[in-house]
Structure 1
Amino acid sequence: MTIAVTVCLSFAVFAVIVWGLMHMRTPRFRMERAQFQRGLEDVIAGQADDNEWRALTCYPMRHDPPLEQLRLECLQIEEEEYTGKIPYLFTEAGLSKLREVRERLLALPQQD
């Protein structure tokens, strides 16, 4: 009798664990426009380091195509104007281009 109860309980626990693992979703990082704007402003102001810049530009933003386009422009600016020196990670020309990206970001229509 105790063996049957043990086997049933073991099976139930195993089934719950398998069910839970099947329904778990992988964590997703999703940057919104306001977060992107703050990150750009920090870089422009010289208050961001390389890690913050990487967090800003290294994750695709498939949920927001206009924001993804701005992210790709930032990567292009990085290729041309990035110095990596603290406090300003970019040359003056790069900072100017990033200000233009920020202005275009502010001009985007609001999301629903």
Structure 2
Amino acid sequence: MALYLLVFAVCLVIFGGMTALLLLSGTPRFRTDPDQLLRLFDQALDNRVDETEWNTLMGYPIRHDDYLDGVRRRAQRLMEEHGNHRRAARGKPLLDPTGQAELRALRDHLARRQALQQR
């Protein structure tokens, strides 16, 4: 009987601890920052980005910063207007020349804004 109570108490402590840990831990959140967008834009301009990576970052809304979400939506619109799906898989740029020029302008604007905020 003592062994049963000992096993029961150990299991109760383990399950209770796991339940408390799960209840107290928060939901993980992914927060896109400007440096991640700049890095992705640089990779897209250098033809080093995978379309899956682009779609993953551009398809995730940025709720903590309206300006960054606007940049993300503009870049997503550029892909819709000037992108050709599966171009990167064939070794071609993700965007056509017009799209790359607009993405470069968007990237430069975001970089200047970041530089002003860091001052």
Structure-to-structure mapping, 1:44-55, within 5 angstroms: 44-55=45-56
- Aligned-partner Cα distance in 1 for 2:58–2:76: 7
**Counterpart check, 1:101 vs 2:113:** no
Pick which of 21-30 and 35-44 moved more: 21-30
Distance in structure 2 (CA, Å) of the matches to 1:67 and 1:36: 9
From 90, 93, 101, the counterpart of 2:95: 90
Following the alignment from structure 1 to structure 2, what is the Cα–Cα distance between the partners of residues 111 and 32? 13
Give the distance between the partners of 1:2 and 1:52, measured in 2 at CA.
Answer: 55
Percent identity between the two aligned chains: 27
Cα deviation digits, residues 41-86 of structure 1 (max 9, x gap): 1101211120221133111112222111100111111111111313
Task: Indicate the RMSD between aligned Cα atoms, in angstroms.
Answer: 1.9
Q: State the TM-score, normalized to the length of structure 2.
A: 0.82
Q: Which runs of 5+ in 1 are unaligned?
A: none
Deviation, structure 1 residue 33: 0.8
Matched residue, 1:66? 67
TM-score by length of 1: 0.86
Q: Does 1:110 align with 2:111?
A: no
Unaligned runs of 5+ in 2: none
Partner of 2:4: 3
Q: Output the amino acid matched with 1:91.
A: D
